[in-house]
C-alpha cells in the first residue's frame, strides 16, 4: 500500500514537473533592452491592452499587432530606465487617478469598475499595472517640462491678437486624429508619404497611425479628441478649413517631423467667448505642442544609448 502511494506521489511530481516545463517552454525572449527582457507573454498582454485603447487595430494581422506591442514596450522600458536616474518611479504622483479616469472615460467606460471588468475579461493588466504605466508617462512629461521649459517660445502677443480679433460666438470644433511621422536620413519623403497614403486606403487612418505615427497618440490610433478651431495654429487651421468629415489634410511640416490630420467629426457650438479662457487654451496647446516635439527629439537621442536586441 505504501509502495503504491509512493508511486502515485512520484507520478504526480512528474506530471507537475512536465507541465511546468511545457509552460516555461512556451515563454521565450523576443527582445532585450540592455539587461531588461521582453517575452512573448509580455507582447501578448501589451497587444491586448492596445486593442482596448484602439479596437481598430484588431483588423491588422497578428504579426503587425505584436510589432506595435513590442514598440510600445521598448519605449516604456527606455523611459522608465531614464527616469530612474533622476527620480523614484515608485513614488506617488497626485495626477495618476485623474489621468486614469480620463483614460477610461475616453474609451467609453462609465467608471473604473467597468474598465477593470474589461481588463479582467481579456486577461489583461490589473488596474494597478495600468496606473504604473500612466505614472511613467506623467513623470516623463514632468521630466521633459523641467528640462525644456526655458526653451519654450510662446508668442503671447500674437495669441492675444488672435483672441481679440475673435468676434463670432459660433465656435467650430473638430474631432481629430493625427499621424506624426519622420523619415530616415536617405529616405525620399515622397516615397514615405505615398506608402502612408496607400496604408490609409488599405487599413484606415487610425490603424495607419498605430503603425507609422511617432506620437504618443499612436496607442489610441492617433485620436486627439475634440479640439476648438480657435485653439489651433493659423497654419493648421487653414489646412483644415476646407476639409469635410472623414477627410484628411495634406502633409504639414513641423520642424523635422511631418503631420497629417484627419477630421472625424465637425460640430459648431453657440457659446459666449471667454477671452481669458481662450487665451489660456491657446497658450496651453502651443506649450504642449512644443514639449511633445522636445520629447520626441530627446527620446530619439537617448534611445541610441541603449542596446536593443530583437530575437
Q: Which run of H or E residues covers position 105?
A: helix 96-106
Pairing relation of β-strands 308-310 and 252-254? unpaired
* Residue 303 domain-assigned (yes or no): no
* Residue 233 domain-assigned (yes or no): yes
The CATH number for 189's domain is 3.10.50.40
Comparing CA positions, the residue from 205, 180, 263 lying closest to residue 59 is: 205
pLDDT at 168: 63
In whole angstroms, what is the distance from residue 92 CA to residue 47 CA?
A: 27
Count of structural domains within the chain? 1
Radius of gyration of the chain measured on its C-alpha atoms:
24
* Residue 194 domain-assigned (yes or no): yes
Q: What is the mean pLDDT of residues 225-243?
A: 88
* Residue 51 domain-assigned (yes or no): no
* Residue 158 domain-assigned (yes or no): no
* Residue 116 domain-assigned (yes or no): no
pLDDT at 192: 93
Contacts of 289 (CB under 8 A, 6+ apart): 233
pLDDT tens digit sequence for 168-190: 667 789 999 999 998 888 888 89
Residue-range definition of the domain harbouring residue 194: 168-276
* Residue 205 domain-assigned (yes or no): yes
* Residue 198 domain-assigned (yes or no): yes
pLDDT tens digit sequence for 134-165: 999 999 999 999 999 999 999 989 888 888 87
DSSP SS3 for 205: helix
Its pTM stands at 0.74
Amino acid at each position: 500500500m505504501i509502495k503504491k502511494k509512493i508511486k502515485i506521489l512520484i507520478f504526480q511530481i512528474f506530471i507537475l514537473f512536465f507541465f511546468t516545463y511545457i509552460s516555461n517552454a512556451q515563454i521565450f525572449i523576443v527582445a532585450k533592452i540592455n539587461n531588461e527582457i521582453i517575452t512573448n507573454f509580455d507582447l501578448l498582454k501589451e497587444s491586448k491592452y492596445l486593442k482596448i485603447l484602439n479596437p481598430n487595430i484588431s483588423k491588422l494581422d497578428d504579426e503587425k499587432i505584436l510589432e506595435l506591442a513590442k514598440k510600445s514596450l521598448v519605449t516604456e522600458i527606455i523611459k522608465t530606465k531614464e527616469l530612474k536616474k533622476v527620480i523614484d518611479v515608485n513614488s506617488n504622483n497626485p495626477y495618476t487617478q485623474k489621468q486614469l479616469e480620463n483614460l477610461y472615460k475616453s474609451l467609453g467606460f462609465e467608471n473604473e469598475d467597468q474598465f477593470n471588468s474589461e481588463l479582467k475579461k481579456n486577461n489583461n493588466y490589473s488596474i494597478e499595472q495600468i496606473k504604473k504605466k500612466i505614472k511613467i508617462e506623467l513623470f516623463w512629461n514632468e521630466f521633459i517640462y523641467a528640462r525644456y521649459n526655458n526653451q519654450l517660445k510662446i508668442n503671447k502677443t500674437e495669441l492675444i491678437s488672435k483672441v481679440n480679433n475673435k468676434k463670432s460666438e459660433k465656435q467650430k470644433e473638430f474631432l481629430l486624429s493625427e499621424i506624426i511621422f519622420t523619415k530616415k536620413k536617405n529616405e525620399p519623403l515622397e516615397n514615405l508619404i505615398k506608402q502612408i497614403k496607400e496604408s490609409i486606403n488599405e487599413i484606415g487612418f487610425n490603424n495607419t497611425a498605430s503603425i507609422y505615427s511617432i506620437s504618443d497618440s499612436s496607442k489610441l490610433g492617433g485620436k486627439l479628441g475634440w479640439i476648438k478651431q480657435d485653439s489651433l495654429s493659423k497654419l493648421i487651421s487653414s489646412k483644415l478649413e476646407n476639409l469635410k468629415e472623414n477627410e484628411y489634410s495634406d502633409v504639414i511640416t513641423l520642424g523635422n517631423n511631418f503631420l497629417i490630420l484627419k477630421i472625424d467629426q465637425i460640430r459648431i457650438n453657440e457659446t459666449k467667448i471667454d477671452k481669458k479662457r481662450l487665451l489660456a487654451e491657446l497658450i496651453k496647446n502651443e506649450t504642449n505642442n512644443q514639449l511633445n516635439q522636445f520629447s520626441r527629439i530627446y527620446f530619439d537621442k537617448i534611445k541610441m544609448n541603449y542596446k536593443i536586441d530583437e530575437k
